Structure 1
């Protein structure tokens, strides 16, 4: 998840911390928390609250609670009318006493998606309307360095040039008649060139098997870049289709960055010798050009087991 544009940052707040989330939260917005777990910590918590009342206690839409006693875990829950719901526990805990951390909370229309230290951690479906959230609370044995809030932009944000199947030559910034139905194909205005960058945003379906992103040349069957995440094999396959045949697959990758039911952002940048590919703000791979005349790469196609939210180029 890209966190390069912060609307507001809170520096070195004292804990316990209770602060207003100005303007509330919207889909596509992120809250980024950097901190350090105390060496003697038994737990800490980050609460997305519906107000700051103590008596009666304000509702908590998301209670995010790493615990370090016994079997370490992260507990998530919701407090309504001063009563807790059922706990959801994650035992693959990425936090340790005395260690630094980065947590990113991404707000989606029907859930929170949470990553920690650059990797997906969990998602938590909304039990109350996230539009009610107006306060962030942080408590427990933890030191917070920064709390960052990204600008409030919809998942169908209007910046850059949006590529739409229904309006292939729409002007930059237009969001009218956006159609991201799959399979999806759109023109890349003026084709690729060095330095040109594309972002594809979507959400992987629950029982997904695979999806694909293809950069192609109109009027031929050639595929300059084929990106194909495969969930069952946990493989991020890259290839090129030339002269009516596939080349040799590339699969090497340190960590597989895709998971069912999570939101993702794939960024593709065209460099002189290769494409650079990042997923959720983390560089993943480079793919050398096999289709040499990149100016002829003027189509992008997306297909497979995802919900497609946006495709943009600049």
Structure 2
């Protein structure tokens, strides 16, 4: 079941900390940040068995139902069955995702969102906690 929050009001400079467990049989999960109008400024999607690259993290954006071009990250610090913490900082012009091995992914704010109203987490990830810092 996906986890969704509306009317969040995450502003530039704020960070979302998500703690949880990747399921033992994980295929993929996603963290989405965007607007209540259905636009996604950030789609963060670790995939354990991608058809093209195997284990890869795909970042993208979605506007009016249309996906942008994918940004693929080959550094893959996720493993099935482990607990992780993700830190997603909304920097205004970009999103910064800090991964468990301290690797950082930068993804541009292609939609020029000035705040984040919507957050969802779905897939093979069990949320233990989240907070805004």
Q: CA deviation at 1:113?
A: 1.0
Aligned to 2:64: 81
Matches within 5 A, 1:84-95: 84-95=67-78
Q: Distance in 2 between matches of 1:20 and 1:110?
A: 21
Aligned to 2:5: 19
Aligned to 1:65: 45
**Structure 2 residue runs without a partner (length 5+):** none
Q: 1:80 to 1:91 in 2, by over 3 A?
A: same
Query: Does the aligned pair in 2 maintain the 1:76–1:87 contact within 8 Å?
Result: yes
Q: Distance in 2 between matches of 1:131 and 1:103?
A: 22
Q: CA deviation at 1:21?
A: 4.8
Aligned length: 130
Question: Higher strand share goes to which structure?
Answer: 2
- Where 2:98 maps in the other structure, the secondary structure is strand
Q: Distance in 1 between matches of 2:64 and 2:92?
A: 23
Note the alpha carbon deviations across 1:9-58, whole angstroms, 9 max, x for none: xxxxxx41111253x2222100000011111111000000211x6xxxx1
Q: Distance in 2 between matches of 1:21 and 1:129?
A: 18
Q: CA deviation at 1:89?
A: 0.6
Q: 1:91 to 1:21 in 2, by over 3 A?
A: farther
Aligned to 1:107: 90
Aligned to 1:50: 35
- Where 2:106 maps in the other structure, the secondary structure is strand
- Where 1:119 maps in the other structure, the secondary structure is coil
Structure with larger RCO (C-alpha < 8 A, sep 6+): 2
Query: Does the aligned pair in 2 maintain the 1:25–1:130 contact within 8 Å?
Result: no
Q: Distance in 2 between matches of 1:108 and 1:49?
A: 13
Matches within 5 A, 1:1-314: 15-22=1-8, 24-51=9-36, 58-70=38-50, 71-117=54-100, 119-150=102-133
- Where 1:68 maps in the other structure, the secondary structure is strand
Q: CA RMSD in A?
A: 1.5
- Where 2:114 maps in the other structure, the secondary structure is helix
Normalising by structure 1, report the TM-score.
0.40
Normalising by structure 2, report the TM-score.
0.91
Q: Distance in 1 between matches of 2:115 and 2:13?
A: 16
Question: Which runs of structure 1 show a deviation greater than 3 angstroms over 4 or more consecutive aligned residues?
Answer: none
